[in-house]
Chains A and B, each alone.
Chain A
Amino acid sequence: MRRTHTRHFIFALLISAILFTPAPAQKLNGHSTTPLNLTLPMKDGSVRFAVIGDTGSGTAQQRDVGDMMIKYHALFPFEFVLMMGDNMYGGEAPQDFEKKFAEPYRALLNDKVKFYATLGNHDQALQVNYENFNMNGKEYYRFKKGNIAFYSLNSNYMDKKQVQWLEDELGRETAAWKVMFFHHPPYSSAKKHGSDGQLREVVEPIFLKYGVDVVLTGHDHVYERMKPQKGIYYFVSGAGGKLRTGDIDRQSGITEKSYDRDLHFMLFEVAGDQMYFQAISRTGDTIDSGVINRR
């Protein structure tokens, strides 16, 4: 009788241990992380990419984001990464390229994931020639993946030639989706920099004229998804290596979703007329997700 009781007790103990033990948490520099949780649909034939911005600090936090991207890459094998500028802070000697770029994303580079960079206000002009930034020696360029045309602009120096180039390219664009990526945000609720009004004055009429769908930027070290502005979806993804905690102005009236408590990266999946997105914190929390339907 007593033996049966003991057996029951041990059995109950085991069941309790299984039920109440938390899911194995991953560790990043002593901070626990949540289990991976992919919200993207993983449709057949979809275009999959990631977005990071303001990465080049060479800090442990940047490496944490890189590690989390690598984990998500195993779940969601994205083909390429868009970089929103400030790819390297404070010097660009050969060892800086290693510490602030190659090393944090080594596993992705080894897996043949391509990085497409844009220039930020901390980036020197010769980055356009760096083999792993795929800029083809150009400060502004276009490339196409599936039914999406991506345009990288140099928002540090939006001169007449660049504006003319953009008009010409968009004028003959045939891709269904038109996605812009550059450093300075035309819309942002961050207190440090905020919306870049003079840049918006020049590029927004062009975006509207040619039906640009999505604009991805950085510069402010936060995450923000704007309410659609004149039908265009604007994102700020500028905390891939630096963070400005508490920088979002919650009263701006233009924010749909924001996050300024930790670093982050983004994942995108485009399938036909739907663009799915997921923003993920350094520790693996999903901070935003949703779908954009093409107009």
Chain B
Amino acid sequence: MKKRYIFIWLLVLALILASGVAVGQKTQNAALAEPVVVSPADKAAVDVFEKQVKGYIELRNKVRENAPKLSKDSTPEQIHAYRTTLENSIRSARSNAKRGEFFQPATADFIRRTLKLEFQGKDRQELREKIFETETQGVVLRVNYPYAQTAEFSEMPATLLTKLPQLPKELRYRFVGRNMLLVDRESDVIIDFMPDALP
């Protein structure tokens, strides 16, 4: 009888420990957690977005060949030449680009809902205010135009980045006021933007 009790207690203890470890792993790697489970409709919207992104990268890789090669030990002049050529090449290759090609209605709807959820709570309210304080004067919200070189970049919340569709290294999300932008990382050309994205 006593042995059975000991066995049951050990079993309960083992279960508690195992669940603790599992919870620990989940919380430790919150930033690496899978995105919130999305509905089939949201998944389809994200798929369309990712397909657009893939298409952009293919185009970008092609036009990048026009730009001079950039090494990890470049001079300011080489950096300037690379950036200017890349910017001009991207802009001329996408001269007919329009707003909403990437942030199509279903994708935009999914992102807006994600942002709304992310920006709930007092600490997130402070974060929202910080984004609004970013000095983005000079940025012209226009697709296929460069983000002003003199303007500051708003910090993209790490916790949000894990929930948005993942981007390749060539692209970045950015905020300008309540607007969310998709920007080419090296040339700073605005690829698309979503007005009033932040709640």
Residues of A at the B interface (CB closer than 8 Å) are 90-94, 96-98, 121-122, 124-131, 135-137, 155-161, 163-164, 167, 184, 193, 196-199, 201-203, 205-206, 209
Task: Tell me whether chain A's interface is mostly helix, strand or loop, or mixed.
Answer: helix
- The reply on B149 being an interface residue by CB < 8 A is yes
- The reply on B104 being an interface residue by CB < 8 A is no
Say whether B31 contacts A160, CB under 8 Å: yes
| Partner pick for B161 among A91, A128, A160, CB 8 A cutoff | A160
Size category, B interface: 35 or more
Residues of B at the A interface (CB closer than 8 Å) are 27-32, 70-80, 82-83, 123-124, 126-127, 130, 134, 149-150, 152-162, 166-167, 169, 172, 185-186, 188
Say whether A202 contacts B74, CB under 8 Å: no
Chain A residues near B172 (CB, 8 Å)?
Answer: 157
Say whether A121 contacts B27, CB under 8 Å: no
Say whether B82 contacts A202, CB under 8 Å: no
* Shortest Cβ distance from residue A214 to the other chain B in the assembled complex, whole angstroms: 21
Q: Compute how far the CA of A155 lies from the CA of B82 in the bound complex, rounded to whole angstroms.
A: 25
Chain A residues near B153 (CB, 8 Å)?
Answer: 121-122, 156
A93-B76, A161-B166 provided; 9 other pairs, C-beta below 8 A?
A: A92-B76, A122-B152, A156-B156, A157-B155, A159-B161, A160-B32, A160-B162, A205-B28, A205-B30
Question: A158-B161, A199-B158 in contact; A129/B79 too (CB < 8 A)?
Answer: yes
Give the residue among B32, B158, B186 with the most A Cβ atoms within 10 A: B158
| Partner pick for B186 among A126, A135, A199, A209, CB 8 A cutoff | A126
8 sample A-B contacts, Cβ–Cβ < 8 Å, listed by A number:
A121-B155, A125-B186, A131-B74, A137-B71, A158-B31, A163-B32, A198-B160, A201-B158
* Shortest Cβ distance from residue B152 to the other chain A in the assembled complex, whole angstroms: 5
* Shortest Cβ distance from residue B187 to the other chain A in the assembled complex, whole angstroms: 9
Say whether A129 contacts B71, CB under 8 Å: yes
Chain A residues near B123 (CB, 8 Å)?
Answer: 197-198
